[in-house]
Structure 1
Amino acid sequence: MTVPRGLVEGPIYLDYNATTPIDPAVTEAMLPYLTAEFGNPSSTHHYGRESRVALDHARDQVAALLGTSAERIVFTGSGSEADNLAIRGTVLASGVDRPHVITQPTEHPAVLQACEALRRWHNAEVTFLPVDGDGLVDPDDLAAAITPRTVLASVMAANNETGALQPIDDLAHVAREHGVVFHTDAAQAIGKMPFDATEHDLVTVVGHKMYAPKGIGALCIRLGVTLEPLVYGGGQEHGLRAGTENVALAVALGTAAELAAKDLASGSHDRIRELRDRLHHLLDTALPGRVHLNGPEKARLPNTLNISINGIIGHELLDTATEIAASTGSACHSGQHEPSPVLTAMGLPSGRRLGALRLSLGRWTTTEQIDQAAHDIVEAAN
């Protein structure tokens, strides 16, 4: 397995949830469609047919990873676009006066802001379900929140900060029982763990979370779900996303999906989970009583470790441990660090929120890197 050149000489990369390096095999697969295979897939001549075949094959590859059919896959320019198509598209197509949307506060900003825009411009009502101390939604709360005007519920599959796995199958079942469309942003889950989209109405897929380039995503749409397009024009992508398709990026996403399926079949997520737990154990042993896990112990992504260390501010630790590339539980605005809204919604105390570190592993993480990262974090903490 070839290591991307960018990882060879840089700091230890533990920020795979922010973005993944592009797998060299993905780069190789897309290159012909940036050079010789330049045709418009809507053209009927030789050049167009070659591009159309590649586009259709990429759709098949993504569908296979999700356990569904290719006709459900619509390529988008990002996960945020897919989220907006799902949320705005469902609400505007519903025809309901003062439509009601249900979500929860630890969603990606693309979901939260799409809901806010619908409230502001389309007279929608938005309900935010509470989350518990692990950041999880109770399906009974969803059932209680549904009204005759509810047209959509949107709950992410896995949280990008804590790795918390929402009970999306149960939530989808509740929504279906009430005739409500269910959307899940599965950007962080797909490729890291087995995922079956068969029973879900709308599923967001993101390329740069699974070793494809930035600028490509997809929305998996259950047949029969009606959406209003975000982009009008020539009718590409089943009429839901006009504009000449970016064949090279679609090929990249398809290739990444096929690689992810092979990885999952080989048990790679178990290897990554063992490394994640090794890192946690090393830190907990070296800093006894000071390390606190944020989020669920079991129901989380196999690659994600979100912790707080007593007496430590997350961004200050990473400023000291310069040989580690990771994320914190705070966002910096004009030099001021604010606690993560995700950890705030979970009810964690201020010190835990500002001290949080998100350490996310991936395809090229090694045991040696984990041991060195643990050593560097302990040194910085002390």
Structure 2
Amino acid sequence: MKYIYLDNNATTKIDNRVIDKMLPYITENYGNPSAIYSLGQKAKKEIEEARYDIASYFNVNNDEIVFTSCGSESNNMAIKGIVNSYRDRGNHIITTEIEHHSVLDVFKFLEKEGFEVTYLPVDKNGIVNIDVLKSSIRKETILVSVMYANNEIGTIQPIKEIGKITTEKNIFFHVDAVQVIGKYRIFPKELGIDLMSFSAHKFHGPKGIGGLYVKRGVKLEKYIHGGKQEKNRRAGTENVAGIIGMAKALEIAYENMDINNKEEQELRDYFEEKILKAIPEIYINAKNVERLPGTTSLTIKYVEGESLLLNLDMKGIAVSSGSACASSDLNASHVL
């Protein structure tokens, strides 16, 4: 039976060219980058070249890229790092109701630590109201965290407008860009972004490697203690093969980005047109706003989501009814 995989917002298949690029750093050039001998220094050199390549795609400085293990770690590192470094400036932080759980759960944790949190509502298409954001800002506000695009419905947020507001108010702006890196050309400095999370396995890179853009001058309290890797911002031996694989995956994504986006949007629109005609009891979420080109979200009346997923899986079709990180939670999606 042919298997049809339709869950690339959860994870993507690693590109064979990425595997080929990574293999020598697993089998031959396996030195620890912190070691002073040549095998270690070769690994260190390759890490810095990969950092340079990734930074160039975002038009940022090399030292503004910090390597992590995944998007969830990047989100935790950014949010906890800011609030712990700048708590003397205030204890109010803002996010939205539809963030990924690696953001929402951090904010809930910080509420228990004494921070005041505002969860911004969104409209029926999942978009933040700029006026509501403005009215929520206080003199004690130190951080706003808004995802670039939603992982379930694909809605694109007004990031540039939000960045302009946070810049004017001298508030740190964190963006979970995990779903857009590799799909769009993102330049954080032009958007007023201070911190930006990304993860390789969302753009046909390896699992277990991610990154965080940290604007120069932004202080982050150290998240993982131990060694002095990543300019003393994150302890732990670097995932050399993963870092190199992420840089290669991003290179491939940028080479084919426009073609891929066009093809994916055409396929999505064709699928939505056909399914609406075939099944009248379907509603397409956020259909009339800008969405990720390869994302469609359906509400099907009178059908229980988990049962539908299992039946599709038996037919060889893989889809999700929500975030992969919440797949064990049988409650309705917090986004919808």
Which TM bucket (shorter chain)? over 0.9
Runs (5+) with no aligned partner, structure 2: none
Query: Is the Cα–Cα contact under 8 Å of residues 152 and 180 in structure 1 kept in the other structure?
Result: yes
Q: CA deviation at 1:10?
A: 5.0
Distance change in 2, residues 1:333/1:251 (3 Å):
closer
Determine the structure 2 residue equivalent to 1:342. 335
SS in 1 for 2:217: coil
Paired residue for 1:230, among 220, 223, 231? 223
Which whole-Å deviations, capped at 9, do the CAs of 1:47-78 have from their partners, x for residues lacking one? Answer: 12210121012112222232322221000011
Which whole-Å deviations, capped at 9, do the CAs of 1:192-251 have from their partners, x for residues lacking one? Answer: 222222231000001111111211100001111111110122221121101121111111
Distance change in 2, residues 1:18/1:74 (3 Å):
same
Corresponding position: 1:103 with 2:98: no
2-side partners of 1:267 and 1:333: how far apart?
35
Letter in 2 for 1:79: G
Q: How many corresponding residue pairs? A: 330
Query: Is the Cα–Cα contact under 8 Å of residues 139 and 174 in structure 1 kept in the other structure?
Result: no
Determine the structure 1 residue equivalent to 2:109. 117
2-side partners of 1:332 and 1:229: how far apart?
30
1-side partners of 2:17 and 2:328: how far apart?
37
Distance change in 2, residues 1:178/1:98 (3 Å):
closer
2-side partners of 1:154 and 1:12: how far apart?
35
SS in 1 for 2:50: helix
Corresponding position: 1:189 with 2:177: no
Determine the structure 2 residue equivalent to 1:163. 154
Q: Output the TM-score relative to the length of structure 2.
A: 0.93
2-side partners of 1:106 and 1:95: how far apart?
25
Paired residue for 1:15, among 7, 29, 36? 7
2-side partners of 1:260 and 1:64: how far apart?
14
Identity %: 39
- Structure 1: which 4+ aligned runs deviate by more than 3 Å? 329-334
Which whole-Å deviations, capped at 9, do the CAs of 1:337-365 have from their partners, x for residues lacking one? Answer: 3210110xxxxxxxxxxxxxxxxxxxxxx
SS in 1 for 2:57: helix
Query: Is the Cα–Cα contact under 8 Å of residues 90 and 142 in structure 2 kept in the other structure?
Result: no
Paired residue for 1:260, among 253, 256, 276? 253
In angstroms, what is the RMSD of aligned CA positions?
1.7
Corresponding position: 1:40 with 2:32: yes
SS in 1 for 2:151: coil
SS in 2 for 1:305: coil
Runs (5+) with no aligned partner, structure 1: 1-8, 344-382
Determine the structure 2 residue equivalent to 1:314. 305
Query: Is the Cα–Cα contact under 8 Å of residues 174 and 194 in structure 2 kept in the other structure?
Result: yes
SS in 2 for 1:102: strand
Q: Output the TM-score relative to the length of structure 1.
A: 0.83
